[in-house]
Amino acid sequence: MNTDPHTGSIFALCDVIRETSFEIHKYLRSGHLEKIYENALAHRLRKKGFRVKQQDPLKVFDEDGTVLGLLKADLFVDNRLICEIKGPRWSLENRPYVVTSKPANGEWPGLEVFTLLSASCPIDFA
């Protein structure tokens, strides 16, 4: 299995994003606007050599090919991973987490994983 996050496993890319997100959270802590976390993650991923598009409009299609609208992804990484970032006002049981899952019906060719990152509450790194 290829573990190079630039060319190999989608899970290696998810690991890099998760680790980078926690590095950012340790530095910034909680309480900033979602856009700050989005910009920080995009910046750090670009520094690591990844192609990152912010607020990139992606067409969403119905089963018959009808365009239903546009999804503006917070981050679209290496043309294969959508990353949605949720800020302090949104949480799931007040815990920071990362969720990954495959798209339900393959709306985006080449997209392997959708990742949701929450920066909703403080983490004790002591």
Mean pLDDT of the region 60-81: 87
pLDDT in tens, 34-65: 899 999 999 999 999 999 999 988 888 888 98
Q: What is the pTM of this model?
A: 0.71
What's the pLDDT at 11?
84
Residue 2 lies in a domain: no
Residue 45 lies in a domain: yes
Using alpha carbons only, give the angle 124, 13, 18 rounded to the nearest 5 degrees: 10
The residues, ordered by sequence, that sit 6+ positions from 86 with a Cβ below 8 Å of its Cβ are 34, 116, 117, 118, 119, 120
Residue 107 lies in a domain: yes
Rounded alpha-carbon distances, angstroms, from residue 79 to 1, 4, 13, 101: 20, 16, 12, 16
What's the pLDDT at 28?
87
Q: What percent of the chain has pLDDT over 90?
A: 21
What's the pLDDT at 1?
59
Task: Look at the chain and count its residues.
Answer: 126
Residue 55 lies in a domain: yes
Task: Look at 16-20, 24-28, 43-47, 103-107 and tell me which has the smallest mean pLDDT.
Answer: 103-107
The two most distant CA atoms of the chain are separated, in Å, by 53
pLDDT band at 116 (very low <50, low <70, confident <90, very high): low
- Contact of 98 with 116, CB cutoff 8 Å: yes
Beginning with the edge strand found earlier in the chain, give each strand of the sheet holding 52-61 in spatial order. 52-61, 67-77, 81-86, 113-118, 98-101
Q: Cα–Cα distance between 30 and 88 in angstroms, integer? A: 7
pLDDT mean across residues, the chain? 74
Tell me the residue range of the domain where 86 lies.
Answer: 10-118
Residue 94 lies in a domain: yes
Number of domains in the chain: 1
